[in-house]
Amino acid sequence: MRVDRRLFPRLHQGFEVVVTGVDMFGAPFQENTRIVNLSQEGLCFLLLRPISTGVQLEFACQTSDVLSRIWTDGHVVWVSERFDGYQLVGVSAKEAQNSSARVQRTASVA
């Protein structure tokens, strides 16, 4: 059995996020994806767009009122290639905690 020696436990809830940024070729992108895991230290998610460590990405997740998204940014600290074409991307939570989050209304009620 493998022992997990990380400082903080991982929450393995695959909730959806929207990621925006600039890929390794300089092209802007927006991709819907899922969180693989998150912890007090950071988060890990899958991404099809090729990116490099060191880039800033912006994240949005749906709020409980369904009409808003919370946007924040983070700093990519590692990228790992997978055999299926996706990349596992690690973002530092320290960077995200120091950024300013904003709320965006996604729809209006008629």
Q: Where are the domains positioned within the chain? A: 16-105
Mean of all residue pLDDT scores within the chain:
76
Q: For residue 7, what pLDDT is reported? A: 59
Instruction: Of 7-16, 61-70, 96-105, give the lowest mean pLDDT range.
Output: 96-105
Angle 60-45-107 from CA coordinates, rounded to 5°: 20
Q: Can you tell me the distance from the alpha carbon of 82 to that of 71, in angstroms, rounded to the nearest whole number? A: 27
Residue 96's SS3 state is helix
Per-residue pLDDT of 86-104, as tens digits, reads 999 999 866 545 555 444 4
Say what the pLDDT of residue 50 is.
Answer: 94
pLDDT band at 5 (very low <50, low <70, confident <90, very high): low
The whole-number pLDDT of residue 4 equals 58
Highest mean pLDDT (candidates 8-12, 62-66, 88-92):
88-92
Q: What is the pTM of this model?
A: 0.72
- Looking at domain 16-105, what is its CATH homologous superfamily? Electron Transport, Fmn-binding Protein; Chain A (2.30.110.10)
Q: Find all residues with CB under 8 Å of 27, minimum gap 6, and list them.
A: none
